[in-house]
Amino acid sequence: MPPRSRGLAANVCGDQVPLALLEARPAGLATQQLVRATGLSLGHVRKGILYIREVSAMAHLTPLIWTPDDGYRFSTSPDDWIAYERSRLRTELTRISRLLSATVAPHAASRPEDDWVHLVLGQLNVVQAALTLLSKAEA
């Protein structure tokens, strides 16, 4: 059996996905549209999006946003950036709140002597408070 290929490097995927998004500008592209536009597999498109998020967006000062209506796109509008950031902050607030209520708080209640859980509880409560403030802040 031949060895399995790892596929394309992240930077290769990260170069092809932005090209497709730039060609579609000002519209965005859903994930499946990116697959068709780039000729990449779904996994490679996801790798390209991840590369943009982790490396390329900051290097080129091109914020990548996603909306249910438009999919992924590069927007030049700060209002779009803020709306996306608010949406992501609300999502992360929900995730942190659920982690606290479903796992960390019951752990702390059942093992009050556990230093680890008190450290986690304290830090996550701070994160939750910060995210709550940000989600309520006006632009």
Residue 118 lies in a domain: yes
CATH number at residue 36: 1.10.10.10
Mean pLDDT of 113-118: 96
pLDDT at 54: 93
Q: What are phi and psi of 73, to 5 degrees?
A: -165, 160
Together in a domain, 88 and 35:
no
Q: Compute the C-alpha angle 67/73/76, nearest 5°.
A: 105
| Stated pTM of the model | 0.82
Structural domain count, the chain: 2
Residue 3 lies in a domain: no
For residue 1, give the 3-state DSSP assignment. Answer: coil
Mean pLDDT of 93-103: 96
For residue 101, how far is the Cα from the chain centroid?
23
